[in-house]
Amino acid sequence: MKKFIFFDLDGTLIFDDKELSNDTKDCLRTLDIKYGLCTNRPLSDIPTLDFLSNNKNYICEGGVVSYDYKKNKLNLNEKAKNINHKSIKKISLEFLKEKGLSINLRQNINRIYSSTLYFERPLESDTILSLGRMVTDFLGSNYEFEVLSETKMLFTIKNISKGQMIKNIMKENFEYYLISDDEKIEKDEKIENLVYISIDPNNSVFNESCDFVSSNDFNRRLIDVILYIKNKQI
């Protein structure tokens, strides 16, 4: 069974060290371990995030577009940079009119930006494809995504934990691991078949909910984690 690692970059796991990032990427490729990104930072915020540049899925907590399933509304963040809101709104209105959806412009007062799309101008075809998938394939899932290119998709999410977000995209033919330094996990909220790994030995509260805790040595902790994942069988 293949393994899939979710890196929680709120802890900036290894990404300040480009050499270590590249070594880790090569190691994961050799071991045939897939990986994804779980963060609310834009790529330009952490220069070495190109560590995952060839990977399909960027998983974020915020974004320029979000679909409120309960209210049947599409929300556009009007503070997003480099976004032509009039164009997107026009496309959205035309495409979603038959779906009975309404558009709601909102201001994100807590964070000016939180996704790659804030720094790119999405193509009309990408926007239409994204909106179409949001109201068909993922209807009721409470998470959405934007298509950045043929090989990249940006998931956006609102008011849902990382664990629940991960659960929404888990498939049966993978073993899943979440690497983080701090995550609010209630014991009854732990996701079944998701292995929780801590890279912060000093975070006693988080570590209580984890299946594995790395060593305190920064240069060894990622090696410890990869070896653990390599040998682990869920």
In angstroms, the CA 155 to CA 170 distance is 14
> Which amino acid would we find at residue 75?
N
Q: What sections of the chain are H helices per DSSP?
A: 18-30, 85-96, 124-134, 162-169, 204-207, 218-231
Mean residue pLDDT of the chain comes to 62
In angstroms, the CA 104 to CA 37 distance is 28
Query: Residue for token digits 């026009």?
Result: 90
Instruction: Using pLDDT thresholds of 50, 70 and 90, give the confidence band for residue 1.
Output: confident
In angstroms, the CA 217 to CA 230 distance is 20
In angstroms, the CA 212 to CA 222 distance is 12
How do strand 143-147 and strand 102-106 relate by DSSP bridges?
unpaired
**182 pLDDT more than 70:** no
Enumerate domains of the chain plus CATH numbers: 2-55+161-231 (3.40.50.1000), 65-157 (no CATH)
Reported for 26-29, long-range contacts at CB under 8 A and 24+ positions apart, including other chains, are 27/226, 28/226
Q: How many residues does the chain have?
A: 234
3-state secondary structure string across 190-216: CCCCEEEEECCCCCHHHHCCCCEECCC
Q: What is the average pLDDT across 81-96?
A: 60
In angstroms, the CA 8 to CA 44 distance is 17
The closest alpha carbon to 232, from 216, 217, 210, belongs to: 210
The whole-number pLDDT of residue 175 equals 86
Return the percentage of the chain with pLDDT > 70, whole number: 32
The whole-number pLDDT of residue 11 equals 42
**65 pLDDT more than 80:** no
Per residue in 205-232, pLDDT (tens digit) is: 778 888 898 887 766 777 788 889 889 8
In angstroms, the CA 194 to CA 191 distance is 6
